[in-house]
Amino acid sequence: MFASPQIINEKKNLISKEFQLSSNNEQYLAKLILSDKIEINLNKKDAISSILYNVSLTLEDLGKINKIFKMCDTLEEAYNTLEKIFLKQKVTLHILNNNISCGFKMNSPTGDEFEIMIPLHKKEMDKSEINDKLCDEINKLKKRIKFLENENENFKNTIKNLESRLKKIEDKNYIYEFFENFDTNIIKTNEEKKFIGSMIKDKFPDKNCNFNLLYRATRDGDAISTFHSKCDNKKQILVFYHTIKGVKFGGYTDIGFDCSNQYKTDLKSFLFQIKKKKFIMQ
């Protein structure tokens, strides 16, 4: 059973509180109202119906139902007594042939538990009451839909952030492994390594690339014959160059180099350039 916050309408001197009840796997909404009388309204939860079960009681009426209410000096005391029973979840619904009664379980001065039965009368709601209830249900649904939309958007953003973080971790791990034994004096900064590593990963997503140094001009000399002697007839070659002005560029060939002086087609080849922190892929 769930109770709503107490609602006070000072203009009408009205106090209202809602409680959720259940019977035969069906949910009902009970409303306990205090004005110049005590009212109990009952209808099915989340259902638009023209039928409302209702009873309106004075302090005298309550005294006739059970003498325990004769001990109450005011209607407010009687209301508080009923409210406490609702809050203790000691209210049951008795339904027989579309007739409904509320059973309130109470304790006698000796501690024995007994039940007070208050019959509710079936009341046909007028159009304005039905419209008000319909509008209230529509507004509740709108709020629920808005809440779910916001929650869904939050989930999407959370998933997006987690995917982004995971990708960064994967890229970082890949680049670290790629350059751990990568012998180069040209590609030095983390930005350059990230560019080259991501480029290789993009071109060969299912391949664990492991490059070995074949030729370095500062070590082996810059003669063309030396380059060809070390690099010809080798496949999957990645080349890096850099100029005295700081321009870095290079390329990749899958079929490698030779001295045949013939044009060849390499669908996996590509060129790249690094200039003033600009990364260009062709």
> Is the pLDDT at 34 greater than 80, yes or no?
yes
Burial degree of 206 (CB within 10 A; 0-12, 13-18, 19+): exposed
pLDDT at 182: 67
- Kindly state the DSSP code that residue 3 receives in the 8-state scheme: B
> Is the pLDDT at 82 greater than 90, yes or no?
yes
pLDDT tens per residue, range 197-237: 777 777 766 556 667 888 988 889 989 889 889 889 888 88
> Is the pLDDT at 7 greater than 60, yes or no?
no
- Burial string for 148-161 (b: 16+ CB within 10 Å, else e) reads eeeeeeeeeeeeee
pLDDT at 170: 63
pLDDT tens per residue, range 106-116: 888 788 889 99
pLDDT at 77: 93
Strand partners, 44: 28
pLDDT at 19: 92
pLDDT band at 11 (very low <50, low <70, confident <90, very high): very low
| Token duo for residue 66 | 């059970």
pLDDT at 51: 67
Mean pLDDT of 15-29: 88
pLDDT at 205: 63
Mean pLDDT of 22-35: 88
Cα distance between residue 128 and residue 131, in whole Å: 5
pTM check: above 0.85: no
pLDDT tens per residue, range 141-187: 888 898 998 888 888 888 888 887 777 666 656 555 666 666 777 87
The helix/strand/coil state of 203 is helix
| Token duo for residue 24 | 């035969």
pLDDT tens per residue, range 236-280: 888 888 888 878 888 888 888 888 888 888 888 888 888 765 666
